[in-house]
Chain A
Amino acid sequence: MTFAIPHQQRLSLAIAALGFLFLGVFLLYPLFNVFGSSLLDPEGETLTLANYTKVLGRPFYRSAIVNTVSIGLAATAITTLLAVPFAFVLARLPIPGKAAILAMAALPLVLPSFVSAYAIVLLLGNSGIVTQWLQSCGVGFGSIYGAGGIILVYTLTLYPYVLLPTIAAFKAVDVSMEEAAQNLGSPPGRTVWTVTLPIVLPAVLAGALLVFIETLENFGVPFVLAEDLPIFAVEAFKLFIGETAPNPASAGVLGVLLILSTTLVLLVQRRFLASRRFATNARQVPPLLKVGRGLQAAATLYCWAIVILALVPFFAIVVLSFLEFRGPVLHGNFSLDNFTGLFDRSLRPFANTLVFATLAAAFVTLIGVPIGYVVARTRSGVATVLDVVATLPFAVAGTVLAIGFVVSFNSGPLVLTGGPLILVLAYTVRKVPFAVRSASAIVHQIDASLEEASISLGRSPLQTFLRIMVPLMLGGILSGVVLSWVTVASELSATVVLYSGPWRTLTVLMFQSLEGGGAGTATAAASILIVVTLLPIALLYRLVRRYELS
């Protein structure tokens, strides 16, 4: 033996090696090819920046950049302004129905946002139900298409990203700090402004950043609502799939620019938050504030209004799916035609969705949980690099990753295009960061001496991982599985680039009926997606409740 690896590091290194292998082939290699195609001349021989000057030289694409960023900023600002007071009310004010509000407020995170966008079109679009009703009353309003509609849908679907961490932060504020401020003579309003808000600011910013990145990468919402307004992710898709002349080089340029901008935002946030760690150790949840009747009623109304407005589009879609459509025109009769229309050709897309989501959720767990374990337990350069690489998919739009997949696995040693596996692999790569994050968070809470105790009692590190760590992490792993399953089932941006022939999914079906104008089929597909999403969440919720009660 010339090169000895210490025993206690072998398991971690083996996991890291497998993790790098997977992420290398299915993340770094495709991304490298996207970079490559954006930097090569049309013959694919010499390196050139010509693609960049060509794309950036066209006002159309320059305006795509401006539109995407300004819509993202506007949506982030509005979301934050709505969610922070919401979080404060839920954390600190006595209002009825808190548990219900919390449960409902988390739902937009798992429900597909493009379904919400589509519902907005059906309700408020040019021939939308609400629009027509208002017109008959003589009231008109501006078009829902374009920036306004997109920002509206982003706000309604992304606000939980800010709300949930901010609630947790408000609850973690050590109340003695507020008491100290008041003791020093600061009135309650000023105390919130000068003490409480600065303490929760890092959590707010972390949430706002998630919102901003989501808006940059989102494909479905602008695809439904943008009409002629050029948006980054949509234009990259059109350039790549383009019916007239597919242009991987220009699509690559947009993809690279998208990755660079999300990475930049992530780095800025890291730098900013690194110097602002106000972890306070609240020994108890801060007490509810006493407020007057009027303020309490206003706060209650405010919270319920946001929660309900965000869910109305989904509810509307389900109702509409049971009504009769003729082409895009709605008739008021109850009918199951939409569903029979959706399934009369085959049940295949439905089955595909279930099978792909199940496989991807299994892969995500099998790959993400061990990586999360290594990232949390090992203090070495290898673990840090693994952490960065495993978080990278977060900064890569689904469209861009999918373009990389097509460029990489269309020929050569590994051909995947045209099959089902390419979809499952793309889903897996996209959701791995979430599994890694949640697994490492759980591992951080499990004392390392438990593993050492098991090992010194005679179980090898691998057996220890399976017999001690996995059971202790089970609750977290299970919710992770459900969350990946649900989000994979409604994945759109990578799917529309990668699907082929018989491997269509429910989202593809919906996407195609959107393009073809089959509104009835689209609502039916959307309804089924909503059910497919909510059912596992409800089951998980019940399971967790029962587990906590026992």
Chain B
Amino acid sequence: MAGIVISGVSRSFGTVRAVDQVDLTVEEGEFFTLLGPSGCGKTTLLRMIAGFCELDSGEIRFGDKRIDKLPAHLRDIGMVFQNYAVFPNLTVAGNVAYGLRARKVPAPEIATRVEEALALVQLAGYGARLPHQLSGGQLQRVAIARALVIRPQVLLFDEPLSNLDARLRVSMRGEIRELQKSLGITALYVTHDQEEAMSVSDRIALMNNGRLEQIGAPAEIYRHPASRFAAEFMGTTNLVEARTLGLAAPVWVSLRPEALRLEADAPAGWPRVAGSVARVEILGPITRLDVKLGDGTVLKTATLDEPQRQLVVGAPVTLAFDSARLTVLP
């Protein structure tokens, strides 16, 4: 087991800089996520580590060992693919044993390790089945068992949950996180889903246009976005000029909807802004609210459902905000 050290890595496709001078260190045993919109370079970076994409410059090391010149099949990586990539011509056990056979592990040991791995992903007893007899969630478990069983130095996840339905996605991400922690394997996870990234990761690297936008713990990036992009990509936010909120500095600030409240619900010390209701969206437990200020700026906020409260489009309303949660953006 080892951490991953990425230094000065770049790759261009034609004129597009897919990955641009990326420096990154993933600690040993850490669950690290590359997060970003499609085309940001996160998958390219993952495939460079896996050995399926050449580097134009830079180097990648596992611990002290440089691996970017090593053929993909000698890198000792467990990889979980978006579309599972379970071999349809092999049984579940055959799939899980595949990497062990490639490593010439003796047959009796293969048998026990395959069983252990299947038990680990809650597929004990499924060894003899063929992939076409399994559901999507089960196939992804096979793929995970197959990647874990070889006891790789590093686990790579390439959007592993995006082909599953919403409910299964939520439970699987919890399982993946637990497995990784209990085994202590360094994991690099790629996703475009901000909520998924926050739920599983120790740290997140936010990527945009081939560059690292911000690195940090999920809460840190959410609460203290370093850029407009980071503020907008990590959930909903209000990007406004400070003047609009009655502040003097000529800067842009990010204010999360939950840092805004209706005047009646807010602590006394919070600054106020007045406007009118522009849109009301009742979602059940919460009600989303767009408030239009005097200068035309629209602020998004939300309140918990409250039957007595009458919110009508056009009605005047006063909001209060927590100035401690304002983030000034460069």
Bound Cα distance from A8 to B102, whole angstroms: 18
Residues of B within 8 A of A472 (CB): 88-89
Query: Is A456 a contact partner of B72 (Cβ separation < 8 A)?
Result: yes
Pick from B74-82, B259-267, B279-287 the stretch touching chain A. B74-82
Closest to B74 in A: A458
Beyond A8-B72, A452-B79, is A457–B102 a contact (Cβ under 8 Å)?
Answer: yes
Residues of A within 8 A of B72 (CB): 7-8, 452, 455-456
Residues of A within 8 A of B85 (CB): 447, 449-450, 452-453
Beyond A460-B71, A460-B73, is A7–B82 a contact (Cβ under 8 Å)?
Answer: no
Interface string of B123-146 (1 = CB under 8 A from A): 000000000000000000001001
The count of residues in chain A whose C-beta lies closer than 8 Å to any C-beta of chain B is 21
Chain A: minimal CB distance from B58 (Å): 15
Residues of B within 8 A of A458 (CB): 73-74, 76, 99, 102-103, 150
Residues of A within 8 A of B82 (CB): 449
Query: Is B75 a contact partner of A456 (Cβ separation < 8 A)?
Result: yes
Cβ-neighbour of B71 out of A7, A450, A452, A471 (below 8 A): A7
Chain B: minimal CB distance from A50 (Å): 49
Closest to B156 in A: A456
Beyond A8-B72, A447-B83, A449-B85, is A454–B98 a contact (Cβ under 8 Å)?
Answer: yes
Bound Cα distance from A410 to B13, whole angstroms: 49
Pick from B46-54, B191-199, B211-219 the stretch touching chain A. B46-54
Interface string of B27-66 (1 = CB under 8 A from A): 0000000000000000000000011101000000000000
Query: Is A457 a contact partner of B51 (Cβ separation < 8 A)?
Result: no
Closest to B96 in A: A457
Which residue of A7, A456, A463, A471 has the most chain B CB atoms within 10 A of its CB atom? A456
Bound Cα distance from A117 to B183, whole angstroms: 73
Query: Is A8 a contact partner of B52 (Cβ separation < 8 A)?
Result: yes
Bound Cα distance from A7 to B86, whole angstroms: 23
Bound Cα distance from A374 to B89, whole angstroms: 22
Bound Cα distance from A468 to B83, whole angstroms: 16
Closest to A10 in B: B71
Bound Cα distance from A447 to B72, whole angstroms: 18
Query: Is A457 a contact partner of B81 (Cβ separation < 8 A)?
Result: no
Q: With an 8 A cutoff between CB atoms, is A222 at the interface?
A: no
Interface string of A313-343 (1 = CB under 8 A from B): 0000000000000000000000000000000
Query: Is A455 a contact partner of B83 (Cβ separation < 8 A)?
Result: no
Residues of A within 8 A of B73 (CB): 455-461, 464
Q: With an 8 A cutoff between CB atoms, is A381 at the interface?
A: no
Main secondary structure of the interface of B (DSSP, over half): loop
Chain B: minimal CB distance from A222 (Å): 47
Cβ-neighbour of B51 out of A454, A455, A459 (below 8 A): A455
Main secondary structure of the interface of A (DSSP, over half): helix
Q: With an 8 A cutoff between CB atoms, is A6 at the interface?
A: yes
Bound Cα distance from A468 to B150, whole angstroms: 19
Residues of A within 8 A of B147 (CB): 457
Q: With an 8 A cutoff between CB atoms, is B252 at the interface?
A: no
Residues of B within 8 A of A463 (CB): 102
Closest to B82 in A: A449
Bound Cα distance from A458 to B75, whole angstroms: 8
Q: With an 8 A cutoff between CB atoms, is B222 at the interface?
A: no
Bound Cα distance from A464 to B90, whole angstroms: 13
A-B interface pairs (CB < 8 A), number: 73
Query: Is A453 a contact partner of B87 (Cβ separation < 8 A)?
Result: yes
Query: Is A457 a contact partner of B54 (Cβ separation < 8 A)?
Result: no
Beyond A459-B102, A460-B71, is A452–B50 a contact (Cβ under 8 Å)?
Answer: yes
The count of residues in chain B whose C-beta lies closer than 8 Å to any C-beta of chain A is 31
Bound Cα distance from A457 to B146, whole angstroms: 8
Beyond A455-B73, A458-B103, is A450–B87 a contact (Cβ under 8 Å)?
Answer: yes
Beyond A7-B71, A472-B88, is A456–B78 a contact (Cβ under 8 Å)?
Answer: yes
Bound Cα distance from A452 to B150, whole angstroms: 16
Query: Is B77 a contact partner of A456 (Cβ separation < 8 A)?
Result: yes
Chain A: minimal CB distance from B97 (Å): 10
Beyond A460-B71, A472-B88, is A449–B102 a contact (Cβ under 8 Å)?
Answer: no
Closest to B98 in A: A457
Residues of A within 8 A of B52 (CB): 8, 452, 455
Residues of B within 8 A of A454 (CB): 87, 98
- Which residues in window 452-488 of A have CB below 8 A to B? 452-461, 463-464, 468, 471-472
Residues of A within 8 A of B54 (CB): 6
Closest to A470 in B: B89
Residues of A within 8 A of B75 (CB): 456
Chain A: minimal CB distance from B99 (Å): 3
Chain B: minimal CB distance from A170 (Å): 29
Bound Cα distance from A450 to B99, whole angstroms: 13
Bound Cα distance from A464 to B51, whole angstroms: 15
Chain A: minimal CB distance from B188 (Å): 13
Residues of B within 8 A of A459 (CB): 73, 98, 102
Query: Is A457 a contact partner of B89 (Cβ separation < 8 A)?
Result: no
Interface string of B99-134 (1 = CB under 8 A from A): 100110000000000000000000000000000000
Residues of A within 8 A of B71 (CB): 7-8, 460
Which residue of A449, A450, A452, A453 has the most chain B CB atoms within 10 A of its CB atom? A453
Residues of B within 8 A of A464 (CB): 73
Bound Cα distance from A460 to B72, whole angstroms: 8
Query: Is A7 a contact partner of B51 (Cβ separation < 8 A)?
Result: yes
Residues of A within 8 A of B98 (CB): 454, 457, 459
Query: Is B102 a contact partner of A468 (Cβ separation < 8 A)?
Result: no
Chain B: minimal CB distance from A382 (Å): 16
Residues of B within 8 A of A456 (CB): 50-51, 72-73, 75, 77-79, 156
Closest to A451 in B: B85
Residues of A within 8 A of B89 (CB): 468, 471-472
Residues of A within 8 A of B99 (CB): 457-458
Beyond A7-B51, A7-B72, A457-B150, is A452–B103 a contact (Cβ under 8 Å)?
Answer: no
Chain B: minimal CB distance from A285 (Å): 22
Residues of B within 8 A of A449 (CB): 81-83, 85
Residues of B within 8 A of A460 (CB): 71, 73
Chain A: minimal CB distance from B162 (Å): 13
Cβ-neighbour of A453 out of B51, B74, B76, B81 (below 8 A): B81
Which residue of A449, A457, A472 has the most chain B CB atoms within 10 A of its CB atom? A457
Closest to A461 in B: B73
Which residue of B70, B76, B98, B143 has the most chain A CB atoms within 10 A of its CB atom? B98
Chain B: minimal CB distance from A25 (Å): 31
Residues of A within 8 A of B150 (CB): 457-458
Bound Cα distance from A7 to B146, whole angstroms: 24
Bound Cα distance from A17 to B75, whole angstroms: 27
Chain A: minimal CB distance from B190 (Å): 13
Return 16 A-B CB contacts under 8 Å, by A number. Answer: A6-B54, A7-B72, A8-B51, A447-B83, A447-B85, A455-B51, A456-B51, A456-B73, A457-B78, A458-B73, A458-B150, A460-B73, A461-B73, A463-B102, A464-B73, A468-B87
Query: Besides A7-B72, A455-B52, 15 other CB < 8 A contacts?
Result: A8-B71, A447-B85, A450-B87, A452-B79, A453-B81, A453-B85, A453-B87, A455-B72, A456-B51, A456-B73, A456-B77, A456-B156, A457-B98, A457-B99, A457-B102
- In order of increasing CB-CB distance, the 10 nearest A-B pairs are A457-B99, A458-B102, A7-B71, A453-B85, A449-B85, A456-B79, A449-B81, A471-B89, A455-B72, A455-B73
